[in-house]
A = this chain, B = another copy of it.
């Protein structure tokens, strides 16, 4: 059965690619209200596609906002385990649009890469599982495992309604393992199993300094400028050593043992590698931690945008009435996002000068998670990667956030496997996002291997 599926997949590269391109053309940007209809269209397209490849019960399930697409195939028999596959069909906004070399929603092949928003994050990656399941169903009419697909539309918003959704649909989502392809591998030949993800707490800070925009000639020096005040506030959030200054912020961050630190520093993430790949003039961060540790086990704070005043061409001498800033922190295991949100909000109010009316809005929170490496599901992943890529995977603590990992663990009590297909330079969240097409096809084969290997491992 596995071999038929592999042959089917190999003979249908073009068909898989054309289908993916169709999905990529739908601009399903969850953050922007003007793409509301596109979100719905993407969900409907997926329901149709799931049905077309032979999955059953394909449907749109509502959440508090963008819906979840669900489909399954549960006829593998009483001995067969069940696998829940998660992906997200929403994508990041595309600005700055003028930095795209090809239109973000017109997927374009250049060399080995497919360019477009969502190619890597996450449409291209979860699509490998639809194609793998389809390859089994089209070639043999069945799968070695029971399979459930759960494709959400709010991941790029921090999955605000997904916890409630998983709680509500616990029975429907019951599974022996959850599988997620939404993480990077090291290079086109070297697969990576992610052993943990960071949490996230995302805020917007608003400062108002006057009732209307003011002329800097008439008010400079007497009415404080919210942009200057915001810059001072943001600058105060990190010390010169890169440490975050929010009081109590590190209280729950555990020190890793030398053995744990050694395992992290396995060569997957190195300073020269990150330097070359990012093009940064110099690296940055906490001097007493390696690059792999700074990304994997240390919390961080980033400013994502500062709004207010004039950013067009030329000059305008305005003191804006308001300024706002988007700020997020990546959290590590044992840091509680709710507690961090309280600490952060208190600190902002402590720092804010009396010349500003200051408020803090929490945009999203997500827990960090670590993976149990001894689970059958993870061991099957290592074997599947070896079949698909011809090489043993590396084990890496990922710096990004996948809220669903902690939710699956906490609510469904299931092991979670993160076996991704993206590359470090795919440009997630950036202009000219791309996906390495050879890995698209390797990914489909790896998934085909995984379903069969997992089925046999569990059935033993």
Contact = CB atoms under 8 A, between A and B. Distances in A.
A93 B312 contact: yes
Interface stretch (A2-10, A110-118, A185-193, A273-281): A273-281
Given A213-B427, A306-B231, A31 B225 contact: no
Interface stretch (A128-136, A341-349, A393-401, A449-457): A393-401
A318 B429 contact: yes
A303 B225 contact: yes
A241 to B, nearest CB: 12
Nearest to A204: B315
Nearest to A232: B235
Interface stretch (A42-50, A138-146, A284-292, A372-380): A284-292
A33 B318 CA distance: 20
A347 B242 CA distance: 22
Interface string A233-277: 011101000100000000000000000000000000000001000
Copies per assembly = 2
A32 interface: yes
Interface centre among A353, A399, A431 (most CB of B within 10 A): A399
A304 B242 CA distance: 27
Interface residues of A, number: 99
A295 interface: yes
A77 interface: no
Contacts of A285: 221-222, 224
Nearest to A200: B317
Q: Helix, strand, loop or mixed for chain A's interface?
A: loop
Contacts of A236: 235
A390 interface: no
A283 interface: yes
B399 A217 contact: yes
B313 A280 contact: no
Interface stretch (A16-24, A78-86, A354-362): A354-362
Given A33-B313, A202-B317, A305-B316, 14 more contacts: A31-B313, A32-B314, A202-B315, A212-B430, A213-B427, A218-B295, A219-B295, A220-B300, A221-B300, A227-B305, A281-B355, A304-B309, A305-B318, A317-B429
